[in-house]
């Protein structure tokens, strides 16, 4: 199993590290445009192998896509992150060009690959890859919902005073400060609806804290987060590589599901060796349906800025 990660920055390196530590891939290639940077990150990570007990071989390359040839899965993290006070959508001007060029170089060397798009604004970047790469739609996956759901569970556990392992919940919709739809109605503590334990007001606070999860960290760190994003990407990579048939909310091209067409937005999907193996349609109430439509309108507004 060969995995390429483009962008050896904060998220790319974190993602490579988690993939290696889980030890399911034979090879991880880190690629960056900055001379020597990916080589340095790869060497540093390889020097953790005997300490962390993995055999995955990590190599680093500067812009040499021939070394990515035959990758089963490619992750795109190249591009700029936001600074405090910015929205993800403001990154489109620089990141769209980078993502388009990177995805086309990847597909040239690995025509049957599965691409996981991480660069922001992620839903629009995933849409761009759909429109320009020629890959089939089950092979392009945007990572956002897995991270947002992990943050939702963190906030739920905090509100409930419960261990995170007791909590389940999912965030669908766009990966943006206003577009996320945390499904509080369906969140549970050991199968019991969380509304049994906390007030509606507290649950609304959990929802709002989840939606601004990325912005909160960006304010604290001065740049956006990387540990949870890296872990979320590695979980998707593992689900595909190991054919786990696990369900994650991912940004996928919809064709009528949730009343939406020709848009990439977060919806629950089953991930396996073929990438997106199924898009799961869950029953939403009227408020959730309205929130998804509103979220989609926001994503479409950003998609309209693309020069396709």
Ligand X SMILES: O=C(O)C[C@H](O)C(=O)O
Burial environment of residue 67 by CB neighbours within 10 A (0 to 12, 13 to 18, 19 or more) = middle
For 210, the token pair is 């989840």
Q: Shortest approach of ligand X to residue 283 CB, angstroms?
A: 27
Closest to ligand NAD by CB, 130 or 189: 130
For position 95 contacting ligand NAD by CB under 6 A, the verdict is yes
For position 153 contacting ligand X by CB under 6 A, the verdict is no
Residues 212-231 that bind ligand NAD (CB under 6 A): 223-226, 229
How many CB atoms neighbour CB 244 within 10 A?
Answer: 15
Q: Which stretch binds ligand X (CB under 6 A): 155-163, 217-225, 256-264, 298-306?
A: 217-225
Closest to ligand X by CB, 174 or 272: 174
Q: Shortest approach of ligand X to residue 7 CB, angstroms?
A: 13
Closest to ligand NAD by CB, 125 or 187: 125
For position 224 contacting ligand X by CB under 6 A, the verdict is yes
Instruction: Answer yes or no: 175 catalytic.
Output: yes
Query: Position of tokens 């060796």?
Result: 273
Annotated binding site for NAD(+): which residue ranges? Answer: 7-12, 32, 95, 118-120
For position 72 contacting ligand NAD by CB under 6 A, the verdict is no
Residues 111-150 that bind ligand X (CB under 6 A): 120, 147
Q: Which does 162 bind (CB under 5 to 8 A by kind): ligand X, ligand NAD, none?
A: none
Annotated binding site for substrate: which residue ranges? Answer: 82, 88, 120, 151
Provide the binding-site residues for ligand NAD, judged by CB under 6 A. 6-12, 31-34, 37, 77-82, 91, 95, 98, 102, 118-120, 122, 143-144, 147, 175, 223-226, 229
As annotated, the active-site residues are 175
């Amino acid at each position: 199993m060969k995995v390429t990660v483009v962008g050896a920055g904060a998220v790319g390196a974190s993602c490579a590290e988690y993939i290696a530590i889980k030890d399911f891939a034979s090879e991880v290639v880190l690629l960056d445009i900055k001379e020597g940077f990916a080589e340095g990150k790869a060497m540093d990570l390889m020097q953790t192998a005997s300490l962390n007990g993995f055999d995955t071989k990590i190599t680093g390359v500067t812009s040499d896509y021939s070394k990515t040839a035959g990758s089963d899965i490619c992750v795109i993290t190249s591009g700029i992150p936001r600074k405090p006070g910015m929205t993800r959508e403001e990154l489109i001007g620089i990141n769209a060009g980078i993502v388009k060029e990177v995805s086309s170089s990847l597909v040239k060397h690995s025509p049957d690959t599965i691409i996981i798009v991480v660069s922001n604004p992620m839903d629009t970047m995933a849409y761009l890859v759909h429109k320009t790469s020629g890959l089939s739609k089950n092979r392009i996956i945007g990572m956002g919902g897995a991270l947002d759901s992990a943050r939702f569970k963190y906030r739920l556990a905090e509100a409930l005073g419960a261990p995170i392992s007791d909590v389940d919940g999912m965030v669908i919709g766009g990966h943006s400060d206003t577009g996320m739809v945390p499904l509080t109605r369906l969140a549970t503590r050991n199968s019991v609806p969380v509304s049994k334990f906390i007030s509606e007001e507290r649950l609304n606070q959990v929802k709002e804290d989840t939606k601004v999860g990325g912005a909160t960290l960006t304010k604290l760190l001065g740049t956006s987060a990387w540990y949870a994003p890296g872990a979320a990407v590695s979980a998707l990579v593992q689900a595909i590589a190991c054919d786990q048939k696990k369900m994650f909310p991912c940004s996928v091209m919809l064709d009528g599901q949730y009343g939406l067409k020709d848009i990439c937005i977060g919806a629950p999907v089953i991930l396996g060796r073929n990438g997106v193996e199924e898009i799961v349609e869950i029953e939403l109430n009227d408020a959730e349906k309205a929130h998804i439509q509103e979220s989609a309108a926001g994503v479409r507004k950003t998609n309209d800025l693309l020069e396709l």
